Amino acid sequence: MNSVVIQEPGKLVIEQRALPVPAAGEVRVRVSHAGICGSDVHIYHGHNPFAKYPRVIGHEFFGHIDSVGEGVDAKRIGERVVIDPVVSCGHCYPCSIGRPNVCAELQVIGVHRDGGFSDYACAPAKNAYVVPDVIPDKLASMVEPFTIAANITAFLKPTPQDTALIYGAGPMGLTVIQVLKGVYGVQKVIVADRIDERLQMAQVSGADWTINNSERSVADELAAEGVRPTLIVDAACHPAILQEAILLASPAARIGMMGFSGEPSLVTQQSITSKEISLFSSRLNSHRFPQVIEWMEQGKIAPEKLVTHWMPASEVEAALTLFEKDQRSCCKVLLTF
């Protein structure tokens, strides 16, 4: 089989590998579609502190089960499945309270262990979720990015009366916008980004008001309209955003963070406590696949609005470059295997 392997930072090779054999409790998936995420690019460049090399990247993937390991029902062969990349120990404190995404021994498929940019990939059987026929093959791998939005919004508990402000209209911001509008019915969703084309995508995904904050300050624009967001999500993840978000937030607002920067953010206790702001962070997803599959099945979210490119896996290097360098024309790239 062919596998996309990052042999060492900066060195991508499409390698011929032997078919993997599913271990006990695992399934093997014949991969047909996989999505590119920023973290794949980070592993490629050696900027992901968790990655070990050589590594088959890819943690957003869909395919058919074609083989099962010991202890897995052979009736599962043939199932159309998406894979939850979160592999957890099941007995540490976070696992015991239903948060395997921050397991003490967390293994992320495509980061800590080999992933889905490969003709075949193995994963624990319990991580393979059946995709209903109404979701087409070419969009099924989009379940995973929406689980990130499902996870952060589960903390934020949006309501229709919220006025939400989202920083960043990349894939992450767009999934959050769609979930706020389509699932929670949030009345007003404001989106700030520095790229007009991304803001247009935000509108297509349901944003009510967009602000290009390379030209105009979000603070000035909101002040002119007398708007104080009650719910803010930082899906741009620059360390300076937290301070601005706290400043702009309404008293009693909730703020969601999803960034991994190692740089400090400058915030004061007073700015947070005086308004009794709730700060939430969110990483990956905790058992959110069934929920997202249901949202997709019910048409509450529209993953096709994020996808700008489908490319053959043989062009993976060009696809990664396009994804990284051209944020005006490119948002989500799906590879076909």
C-alpha–C-alpha distance, residues 138 and 332, integer Å: 12
Nearer CB in complex with ligand NAI: 28/332:
332
Kindly give the interhelix angle for 143-156 and 171-182, rounded to the nearest 10 degrees. Answer: 60
Residue 120 CB, nearest approach to ligand NAI (Å): 25
DSSP-assigned letter for residue 313: G
Residues that bind ligand NAI (CB under 6 A): 38, 148, 167-173, 192-195, 198, 213, 235-238, 241, 258-260, 282-284, 327
Burial 104-139 (b: 16+ CB within 10 A, else e): eebebbbbbbbbbbbbbbbbbbebbbebeeebeebb
- Please count the other Cβ atoms lying within 10 Å of the Cβ belonging to residue 305: 19
Phi, psi for 39 (deg, rounded to 5): -70, -25
Output the six-digit token pair for 316.
Answer: 């993976």
9's CB contacts (< 8 A; 6+ apart) are 44, 45, 46, 53
What is the DSSP pairing of strand 163-167 with strand 128-130? unpaired
Place of tokens 């300050």: 217
Q: How far is CA 258 from CA 47, 170, 176, 281, in A?
A: 17, 13, 11, 6
- Helix, strand, coil share (%) of the chain residues, nearest 5: 30, 25, 40
* Contact by Cβ (8 Å): 188, 163: yes
The β-bridge partners of 30 are 64, 120
Q: How far is CA 212 from CA 48, 115, 167, 307, in A?
A: 29, 36, 10, 22
